[in-house]
Amino acid sequence: MAIDGVSDLWDNLLGAQPDPPGLLVLLTAVAGLLAVGFRPVWRIARNAVTIAHEGGHALMAFVTGRRLRGIRLEFDTSGLTLSSGKPTGPGMMLTLLGGYVAPSLIGVLGAWLLGGNRITLLLWLAIVLLLLMLINIRNAFGVVSVLVTGAIVFAVSWFASPQVQAAFAYAGVWFLLFGGVRPVFELQSLRRRGRMRDSDADQLAHLSHVPALFWVGVFLLVNVGALVIGAFMLAGQWLPQSA
């Protein structure tokens, strides 16, 4: 990215990039699906979903007036977000709800930005969100994980060609859209085997007196809906060109 001044940077950030080839949109969709479906890749790439998940908890805690006490990201791709405040009520429930739906909703936001060809803006928003999250990380692996993710996004946004930026952005958005769905099935599988008795769904069940399976269903409904909406947004990038 050649930048000669602040005004050029601002124009580049807010300006629209050229339409990507329709084939690129389709191929990145396949890549995103394979990254979620192929277990060895998923084990590593799932860290990005965990970052979004814990970021969702943190954002809802902030929005509802709770005090964010810290975020932990673990090597096994699990995470924990701690906040203080009233242990019951809408604020606590929204904080718990924010985790499993966050990757998919971020994916929809990304699809909307890509629909307007705001590829650079999308990448820089990701960097800003990662920096905001970094200041709340409370363990070494979490710091390394966020720093590495942010460094990759920055390197692509600053040094890569527009074509590489487009491929990276589309693949990332598709990954979040697909990747938001799989953890819900993993959650229910672990719950069925009695291995996640304190999951977000179970805590919501305790607060609302509604069965945890209902909340698992809410997560799934939101995330599948986000996948459908995001896919339609991104599909518009290649369907007109293939007609």
Q: Give 25-69 pLDDT, tens digit per residue.
A: 999 999 999 999 999 999 999 999 999 999 999 999 999 999 999
Q: Which amino acid is at 14?
A: L
Whether the per-residue pLDDT at 1 is higher than 60: the answer is no
Within 10 angstroms of residue 135's Cβ, the number of other Cβ atoms is: 8
φ/ψ of residue 211, rounded to 5: -50, 145
What is d(CA 66, CA 58) in angstroms, rounded to the nearest whole number?
Answer: 9
166 within 8 A of 120, measured Cβ to Cβ: no
Whether the predicted model's global pTM rises above the 0.85 cut: yes
Q: Name the least confident of 18-27, 31-40, 68-77, 231-240.
A: 231-240
137 within 8 A of 39, measured Cβ to Cβ: no
> What is the CB-side half-sphere exposure of residue 175 using CA atoms within 13 A?
23
Confidence band of 243 (pLDDT split at 50, 70, 90): very low
Whether the per-residue pLDDT at 78 is higher than 80: the answer is yes
Whether the per-residue pLDDT at 242 is higher than 50: the answer is no
Convert the pLDDT of each residue in 121-150 to its tens digit.
999 999 999 999 999 999 999 999 999 999
Q: What pLDDT, on the 0 to 100 scale, is given for residue 10?
A: 58
Q: What pLDDT, on the 0 to 100 scale, is given for residue 5?
A: 55
